[in-house]
Structure formats: structure tokens, C-alpha cells
Amino acid sequence: MKVAEVMNIRREKLSKAGRRCAWKGCGERVDAEAELPPGWLWLITYWSPWPETDKTLLEVVMGSFCKRDAVICSWHAKELERLLEDIGPLDGPPAGAA
């Protein structure tokens, strides 16, 4: 069983906190209102019993299957890439990108 506390946080408070790298132990932050710096990545994870190719990224993130919507700094983006197997280029544009 997974338990979570749900809270409403004012937008002004979130902006002051900024976006923090989701890598455990990393303290890198960027301004929440600023453009994401080069090298930083959005890290979206979700689980679904089937690919949701008919949905846009926004629909996936706002859906019930989304587990994490975060960012990782450029340093940890490179570290993550080192851990992943190379699967080659995408066959086409992501769903919803056309």
C-alpha cells in the first residue's frame, strides 16, 4: 500500500522554491519561472498496462498513471544516460507532436 499526503501550495511559494534536481542527494535548483537550462531534463515516469500513444504528454502527466513529474540537472542527466542501454533513434515523432 502506498500512502501520500495531498496539499495545496500557493503558486508564489512554489516559484520561490524553484525546481530541484530529483537525483537523491543533489542540491541543484533552478528558478521555477525561468526556462529550463541547457542539459537539464524533464523526468516523467508513469506506469500503464499498455502504451498510451493516443495521449499528449500533458494528458499523461495529469493522468492517474503518472508516478513522477520532475527535473534532473545536466550532470545527473548524463549519469542517467550512462546507465541506460542505447536503443537507437526514435522511429518517428512522439505521440501528440504532429
Q: What cell does 74 get?
A: 545536466
Q: Is the dihedral of CA 35, 67, 62, 98 positive or negative?
A: positive
41 by DSSP, 3-state: which? Answer: strand
Domain extent for 34: 17-83
Q: Considering the domain boundaries, does residue 67 fall inside one?
A: yes
Question: Which strand (E) or helix (H) includes residue 8?
Answer: none
In a domain, 96, yes or no: no
As a whole number of angstroms, the distance between CA 77 and CA 41 comes to 7
Residue 8 lies inside a defined structural domain of this protein: no
pLDDT confidence of 90, banded at 50, 70, 90? low
The secondary element (H helix, E strand) that includes residue 45 is: strand 41-46
Q: Is 57 helix (H, G, I), strand (E, B) or coil?
A: helix
Give the pLDDT confidence of 20-34 residue by residue, as tens digits: 999 999 999 998 888
**Do strands 19-20 and 66-72 pair parallel, antiparallel, or not at all (unpaired)?**
unpaired
**Overall domain count for the chain:** 1
| Whole-model pTM over 0.95 | no
Assigned domain for 54 exists: yes
Instruction: Enter the C-alpha cell of residue 27.
Output: 542540491
Q: What is the pLDDT of residues 8-60, one digit of tens each?
A: 656 555 555 578 999 999 999 998 888 899 999 988 888 888 877 888 878 88
Mean pLDDT of the chain: 80
Integer Cα distance of 29 and 32 in angstroms: 9
